[in-house]
Structure 1
Amino acid sequence: MAAEPQRTPAEPSTAPNGRLASSTRSTLLGAMFLMATSAIGPGFITQTTTFTVQLGAAFAFAIVISILIDIALQLNVWRVIGVSGRRAQELGDLVAPGLGWVMAAFLLIGGLVFNIGNVSGAGLGTNAMLGLDPKLGGALSALIAIGIFLSKRAGVAVDRIVVVLGLVMIVLTTYVAITSGPPVGDALRNVVLPEDIDILAITTLVGGTIGGYIVYAGAHRLLDSGISGPGRVRDITRGSVTGILITAVMRVVLFLAILGVVTGGAALDPTNQAASAFEQAAGEVGLRVFGIVLWAAAITSVIGASYTSVSFVTSRTRTSDRTRSLLVVGFIAFTSLVYVLIGTAPTTLLVFAGAFNGLLLPIGIAVLLWVATRRTDLLNGYRYPRWLLVIGWVAWLLTLYLAINSVRPVIDLFA
């Protein structure tokens, strides 16, 4: 993976009145929501529900701390990739020959397996929403995702779809949160004075929000849209922080929706706690709303996982948009076929994929922080802020903890 020249956007980033040009606003929104909706997948919903049931209002503290850590990491990832004008794996190869291919291999393996889970989630969403057989629903959802990437303006289509579905998830989940009547005061108090501090919950949330391909989704989308270089730092920073905040909003409203049901004394179905909570909060309508939210979370994760995984094995300048789209289509088709044939990703494969994603996170973050610290020649003359480096390296230490935890299940598998 040789270093590639920076690509200049086709039009100015600002309009004559000093505001962002409409195309730049659309691109930034798309990158923000691609990162956010990639994080908000079926696993995101399951994790949030499980920890809310376990910790109650005290889970609010874990959410806030994880958001701060996510922002520290994403600020650095987006800034280094955006300012350098190079994808993460390209920077990896410049730091140490062959390292970029190692990063790509890890991410591709994890992306393939987890995308089977994403298609599975889409199938379960259509089942709750329309009563369709999950395999049929998963296959139809995959066809919709494929249709998006086969459209003539696939990039624009992706940007618009993830924004619309991201907003749909937030609005519908907010409706359920209002209906369930959560104790907001207790949640706010626990942000400052937590009744219980669960380190596992914090590390799990960080890994689920920016683990694997997710941490690179928005930044790579920004590059492919031509937004890069020191002159775009303001746009890059805005995109990275807003993307995490969008994810945070969804996490908070989902937490409140489940919290209201749990504190109300309702007994949730252990086989599907999230669906049961939505149904308890709003009856039959709640169950259908859950189906829509789960489907939207799953299909946007299918789009994000496929797009980002392919971006790690293609060239931004030497691979045509059409070729890239066809590779994404092949990625979706393969993972969907596996799901239809076996029903879901085998547990063993999911454990391995989790380990690969856990290992990739500290490797990838370390590469980018090393570039910002020691390879400033790759930053096109940009002077990297010292404060940003400090919070980046501190947050990186947590990714090491995540990596250790992700390897343990693999060891247990062979024990």
Structure 2
Amino acid sequence: MSDSAPTAANASLRGGFLAAIFLMATSAIGPGFITQTATFTQKLGAAFAFAILASILIDFVVQLNIWRITALTRRNASDTANAAIPGSGYLLAVLILIGGLAFNIGNIAGAGLGMNAMFGLDPKIGGAISALLAIGVFLSKRAGLLLDRSLIGLGVLMIAMTLVVAITSNPPVGDAMRQAILPDVIDFPTITTIVGGTVGGYITYSGAHRLLDKGLVGEENLAAVTRASLTGIAVTGLMRFVLFLAILGVVASGVTLDLSSQAANPAAQAFAAALGDTGMRIFGVVLWAAAITSVIGAAYTSVSFLNVFSTMTERSRNIATVIFIAFSLAVYMAIGTAPAAILIFVGGFNGLILPIGLTIFTYVGFARPDLMGGHVYNRVLLTLSAIVCALTWYMGIKSVGPIFAFLGA
């Protein structure tokens, strides 16, 4: 009895951290990132490696600090913000909900594109089927377990499938590694968009809020939270580079991806160029897995911010999540904007939300140890957070015009 209880507790602990890792990773690698990667790799070539590396470094600082501070405060992000700066939690919640809704429309669009590539289904029908599957997760009596297992299984599937294409496309790895450090060109709107698509908006808080729901908080869990955050960043970083290399190999071989048409699907073109019809089917699986996990992650995390307005039970939150997904689906079915355009624009929009939340959390780390149980926060991590915070404000300001002009381009 005494041996089995600690074993069960350790397994539950590992499962909780693994669930948070994959919720963050799959949220960060959604259909928006896949579409953005294909678009910007065609535009910048190997120089896009710099933007990928920049997003990973920013991700490292943002996620590590937010996971750790959330664990120490034992509150979700909006409650922490309100306690630190009265009223700021409401602002953050509204921005996250708007950004999460916009992201989820794009995620459902991506799921529709994935089913179209796999089975030839009309994207709107595929999007509707996918949204209903996501709703089924939250209607299940074992929603938490189903959520965790779905995210882990689909996350592993995405990485394996993309790795096959990356090996087949034979990318110029040496040139990509060089330009990750010394790029031929630096494009701030591109970096802001890719950062927004991988760590902006709700994505910043997805893993941290999952740990909070699992009760994996407090100074006693801080070391494990730190390890889990670093592991999650490593998983997302690996996936980002593998996807980039898969598409770079196709572009470097002389294939030109169509970016001119509003209905264009550049990532699908890249996978098809690498492996023909099989590549198109693999793309469909990867995009659909990325999209359905992101639909779940966006809805789960966005709705978790509603707690700042009214305390919610697990059941009421699951119902609100179902409504959130259903509303996202209704908007997607009603609008006429091409899915690829949605996915690019939303990344940029969420990149503008990022510095607001990061500013609040950096302030908490520096000035509000009382909110962290008296814990004196690591000054090196705080300094890095302040630097990244200033950088994301700068990139956001520089990129406002180009990002909001995108849909009219």
| TM score, norm. by length of structure 2 | 0.91
Counterparts of 1:343 and 1:82, CA distance in 2: 42
Counterparts of 2:192 and 2:144, CA distance in 1: 33
Per-residue CA deviation, residues 77-132 of structure 1 (Å, 9 max, x unaligned), is 11111111011100111122221111111111121122111111111110011111
Residue 375 of structure 1: aligned partner? 368
Is 1:398 aligned to 2:387, yes or no? no
- 1:14-413 equivalence runs, <5 A: 21-270=10-259, 271-314=264-307, 318-344=311-337, 357-405=350-398, 407-408=400-401
Higher helix share: 2
Contact 1:358-1:406 within 8 A present in 2 as well: no
CA shift for structure 1 position 258 = 0.8
- Name the amino acid aligned to 1:102: L
Q: CA RMSD in A?
A: 2.7
Counterparts of 2:113 and 2:299, CA distance in 1: 19
Contact 1:116-1:344 within 8 A present in 2 as well: no
Contact 1:79-1:236 within 8 A present in 2 as well: yes
**What secondary structure, in the 3-state scheme, does the structure 2 residue paired with 1:403 have?**
helix
Counterparts of 2:363 and 2:330, CA distance in 1: 40
Counterparts of 2:62 and 2:334, CA distance in 1: 38
Contact 1:32-1:243 within 8 A present in 2 as well: yes
Tell me: CA distance 1:173–1:130, structure 2 relative to 1, closer, same or farther (3 Å).
Answer: same
**What secondary structure, in the 3-state scheme, does the structure 2 residue paired with 1:21 have?**
helix
Contact 2:194-2:348 within 8 A present in 1 as well: no
Structure 2 residues not aligned, in runs of 5+: none
Tell me: CA distance 1:328–1:228, structure 2 relative to 1, closer, same or farther (3 Å).
Answer: same
Counterparts of 2:404 and 2:172, CA distance in 1: 41
Mean CA deviation greater in 404-413 or 266-275: 404-413
Tell me: CA distance 1:411–1:283, structure 2 relative to 1, closer, same or farther (3 Å).
Answer: closer
Contact 2:188-2:399 within 8 A present in 1 as well: no
Tell me the percent identity. 57
Residue 3 of structure 1: aligned partner? none
- Name the amino acid aligned to 2:104: N
CA shift for structure 1 position 350 = 8.3
Contact 1:115-1:302 within 8 A present in 2 as well: yes
Mean CA deviation greater in 154-163 or 316-325: 316-325
- Name the amino acid aligned to 1:65: A
Tell me: CA distance 1:73–1:283, structure 2 relative to 1, closer, same or farther (3 Å).
Answer: same
Per-residue CA deviation, residues 326-346 of structure 1 (Å, 9 max, x unaligned), is 110111011112222335589
Counterparts of 2:403 and 2:248, CA distance in 1: 33
- Name the amino acid aligned to 2:129: L
Counterparts of 1:251 and 1:234, CA distance in 2: 26
Contact 2:71-2:225 within 8 A present in 1 as well: yes
CA shift for structure 1 position 185 = 2.3
Number of positions where the alignment pairs a residue of Structure 1 with one of Structure 2: 401
- Name the amino acid aligned to 1:273: P
CA shift for structure 1 position 157 = 1.2
- Name the amino acid aligned to 1:84: T
Per-residue CA deviation, residues 384-413 of structure 1 (Å, 9 max, x unaligned), is 111011000000012212432464368869
Tell me: CA distance 1:307–1:91, structure 2 relative to 1, closer, same or farther (3 Å).
Answer: same
Tell me: CA distance 1:346–1:288, structure 2 relative to 1, closer, same or farther (3 Å).
Answer: closer
Tell me: CA distance 1:195–1:409, structure 2 relative to 1, closer, same or farther (3 Å).
Answer: closer
Per-residue CA deviation, residues 355-377 of structure 1 (Å, 9 max, x unaligned), is 76344322211111111111110
Counterparts of 2:348 and 2:281, CA distance in 1: 34
Contact 2:104-2:298 within 8 A present in 1 as well: yes
- Name the amino acid aligned to 2:389: W
Mean CA deviation greater in 349-358 or 367-376: 349-358
Contact 1:42-1:118 within 8 A present in 2 as well: yes
Counterparts of 2:326 and 2:199, CA distance in 1: 25
Contact 1:117-1:345 within 8 A present in 2 as well: no
Tell me: CA distance 1:54–1:360, structure 2 relative to 1, closer, same or farther (3 Å).
Answer: closer
Counterparts of 2:145 and 2:47, CA distance in 1: 40
CA shift for structure 1 position 349 = 8.9
| TM score, norm. by length of structure 1 | 0.89
Contact 1:56-1:262 within 8 A present in 2 as well: yes
Tell me: CA distance 1:21–1:316, structure 2 relative to 1, closer, same or farther (3 Å).
Answer: farther
